């Protein structure tokens, strides 16, 4: 099966303008093609590494991946709840405007619709990654405080390493059980993951917060601080009609430089990140409330219901109504073919 990153790679190559190909012998054309292809190769290699040794519970409610965590060239998101256990080494995420270091032996859980990116790993890093369908996560009815924190964009970390040996044992067994494809074993895996999340909810009931990275990261510390400030500002004010000028003024940068800096370090524009944040919040509201879709649209920061429908379908491949129905077992129509989202008119200039 062709990976998602490989598909994106093909799409990007097909979108290179003909004039660029015609002038590929020029320095300008060469570097445009080279940059696109290099970015695609990085994405494909990252995807290949991250999906090695993957085992799945049908019908795609749960999958487990193990291997070296590949670096992600850009921020990305997906609709599952992600459960990570770093078995060796460390890995660092850019998540929700912060850098989060996950060391060996620590369990980390987050809703992956929040844009995130692995930005650094140690050479010896090895991890397990579970992708759990949101519908399954909600069906388990975990403690409300735990669920709300996760869906509001918090990465929840085990506060200590008291369960490190237990977790290593569990993940090893889960991988073997999933590989066996025996129904009794699959049922046990679901029950044990449910129980492990219950234990995590209990141990973090006092509100464990994500830990910010303190050591140096790629790029200057000052630049990364500015990127974090921009991401945090958008996370706090996504409901408002933000402009590049507003953001530049708050973080103390020229608007064009703020936009360039953010794109360089995050792999997406400020407008794209703002839209991803709004879509993430809309998904949370659709999953956890009975609010009318028009109310969801405005609460998520969209200034037009029609614009909300357009961006949601482009991003998620289905309507908001179908997305909500799919979380609770109701039949939903097949997703429409996915096309690149149009981020114009998203309340940012």
Confidence of residue 222 (pLDDT cuts 50, 70, 90): low
Whether the pLDDT of residue 314 is over 70: the answer is: yes
Kindly give, in sequence order, each residue whose CB lies less than 8 Å from that of residue 171, ignoring residues fewer than 6 positions away: 64, 66, 85, 87, 128
| Residue 212 per-residue DSSP state | B
Are residues 86 and 158 located together in one domain of the fold?
A: yes
Q: Does the pLDDT value for residue 5 go beyond 90? A: no
Q: What's the structural domain count of the chain?
A: 3
Q: Is 209 contained in some domain?
A: no
User: Strands across the sheet with 156-157, in order?
Assistant: 55-57, 62-67, 126-132, 81-88, 107-111, 156-157
The pLDDT value recorded for residue 266 is 73
Is the model's pLDDT at 215 over the cut of 50?
no
pTM: 0.61
DSSP 261-320: HHHHHHSS-HHHHHHHHHHHHHHHHHHH----HHHHHHHTT-S-HHHHHHHHHHHHSS-H
pLDDT at 154: 87
DSSP character at residue 210: P
**Which CATH number characterizes residue 303's domain?**
1.10.10.60
| Residue 143 within a domain | yes
- Are 244 and 192 members of one domain? no
Cβ atoms 63, 55 nearer than 8 A: yes
Query: What is the C-alpha to C-alpha distance for residues 243 and 349, in angstroms, rounded to an integer?
Result: 5
Helix (H, G, I), strand (E, B) or coil at 161: coil
Q: What integer pLDDT is reported at residue 263 of this predicted model?
A: 84
Residue 72 lies in domain: 52-203
User: Are residues 56 and 32 both part of a single domain?
Assistant: no
> pLDDT, tens digit, for every residue of 101-111?
999 999 999 98
Q: 92 in a domain, yes or no?
A: yes
**69, exposed or middle or buried, with CB in 10 Å at 0-12, 13-18, 19+?**
buried
Please identify which residue in the block is written with the tokens 């991003």. 315
**Burial classification of residue 308, based on how many CB atoms lie within 10 Å of its CB (0-12 exposed, 13-18 middle, 19 or more buried):** buried
Integer angstrom CA distances of residue 274 from 65, 125, 146, 305, 348: 30, 31, 25, 17, 8
* Cis peptide upstream of residue 59 (ω within 30 degrees of 0): yes
333 neighbors 323 (Cβ within 8 angstroms): no
Are 107 and 126 within one domain? yes
Q: State the greatest distance between any 2 C-alpha atoms of the chain, in Å, as a whole number.
A: 62
216 part of a folded domain: no
Q: Tell me if 310 sits within 8 A of 275, measured CB to CB.
A: no
| Shared-domain flag, residues 270 and 253 | yes
Residues 89 and 178 both lie in one domain = yes
What DSSP element (H or E) covers 229? helix 221-237
DSSP string, 85-98: EEEESEEEEEETTE
One domain, residues 73 and 90: yes
Domain of residue 157, CATH code: 2.60.120.280
Tell me what pLDDT residue 284 has: 84
Considering the domain architecture, whether residues 97 and 171 belong to the same structural domain is answered as: yes
Task: Take residue 252 and report the two structure tokens written for it.
Answer: 């103390």
pLDDT at 257 over 90: yes
With a CB cutoff of 8 Å and minimum separation 6, the contacts of 289 are 296
Residues 64 and 196 grouped into a single domain: yes
Residue 273 has pLDDT above 70, yes or no: yes
């Amino acid at each position: 099966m062709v990976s998602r990153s490989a598909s994106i790679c093909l799409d990007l190559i097909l979108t290179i303008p003909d004039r660029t190909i015609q002038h590929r012998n020029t320095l300008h054309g060469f570097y445009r093609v080279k940059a696109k292809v290099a970015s695609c190769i990085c994405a494909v290699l990252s995807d290949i590494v991250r999906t090695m040794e993957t085992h799945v519970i049908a019908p795609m409610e749960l999958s487990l991946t193990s291997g070296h965590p590949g670096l992600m060239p850009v921020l990305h998101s997906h609709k599952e709840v992600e459960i990570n256990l770093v078995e060796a080494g460390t890995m660092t995420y850019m998540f929700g405007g912060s850098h989060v270091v996950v060391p060996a032996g620590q369990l980390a859980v987050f809703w992956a619709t929040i844009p995130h990116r692995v930005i650094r790993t140690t050479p010896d890093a090895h991890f397990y990654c579970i992708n759990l369908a949101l519908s399954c996560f909600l069906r388990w009815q975990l403690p409300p405080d735990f669920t709300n924190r996760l869906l509001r964009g918090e990465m929840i970390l085990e506060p200590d390493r008291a369960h490190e040996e237990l977790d290593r044992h569990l993940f090893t067994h889960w991988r073997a059980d999933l590989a066996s494809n025996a129904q009794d074993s699959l049922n046990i895996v679901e029950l044990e993951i449910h129980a492990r999340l219950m234990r995590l909810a209990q141990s973090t009931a006092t509100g464990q917060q994500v830990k910010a990275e303190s050591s140096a990261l790629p790029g200057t510390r000052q630049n990364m601080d500015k990127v974090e400030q921009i991401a945090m500002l958008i996370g706090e004010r996504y409901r408002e009609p933000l402009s590049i000028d507003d953001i530049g003024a708050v973080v103390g940068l020229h608007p064009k430089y703020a936009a360039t800096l953010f794109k360089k370090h995050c792999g997406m524009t400020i407008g794209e990140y703002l839209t991803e944040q709004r879509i993430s919040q809309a998904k949370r509201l659709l999953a956890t409330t009975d609010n009318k879709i028009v109310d969801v649209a405005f609460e998520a920061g969209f200034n037009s219901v029609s614009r909300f429908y357009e961006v949601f379908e482009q991003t998620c491949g289905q309507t908001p109504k179908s997305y909500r129905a799919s979380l609770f077992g109701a039949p939903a129509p097949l997703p429409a073919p996915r096309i690149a989202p149009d981020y114009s008119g998203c309340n940012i200039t």
